[in-house]
């Protein structure tokens, strides 16, 4: 395995990580922002109020995007396994 192959594998791994984790992180970020604005407007300072909406929003996001996320991960694994002979040389 040479440096170019290692660089390619690393780039694909980081791209896959960003594609898989990005949507759930963005949903969590926007949900937290909305809840924080709601808390600031209503002056409700309850810690559990921030966690429950985030958990529900992330769960819904994962449920809705599961087929696409699974396809991304399976394609990466398939590509990695398929190219093992090329990487061993």
CA distance 35 to 80: 41
Domain that holds residue 49: 3-88
Report the domain count for the chain. Answer: 1
Statement: the pTM of the whole predicted model exceeds 0.75:
yes
Helix (H) or strand (E) holding 25: helix 3-42
Per-residue pLDDT of the chain (89 residues; tens, 9 = 90+): 788 888 989 999 999 999 999 999 999 999 999 999 998 898 888 878 888 999 999 999 999 999 999 999 999 999 999 988 888 87
Q: 3-state SS string over 36-83?
A: HHHHHHHCCCCCHHHHHHHHHHHHHHHHHHHHHHHHHHHHHHHHHHHC
């Amino acid at each position: 395995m040479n440096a170019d192959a290692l660089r390619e594998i690393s780039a694909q791994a980081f791209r896959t990580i960003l594609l898989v984790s990005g949507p759930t992180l963005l949903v969590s970020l926007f949900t937290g922002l909305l809840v924080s604005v709601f808390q600031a407007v209503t002056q409700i300072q309850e810690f559990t109020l921030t966690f429950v909406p985030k958990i529900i929003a992330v769960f819904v996001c994962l449920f809705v995007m599961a087929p696409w996320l699974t396809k991304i991960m399976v394609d990466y694994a398939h590509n990695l396994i398929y190219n093992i002979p090329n990487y061993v040389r």
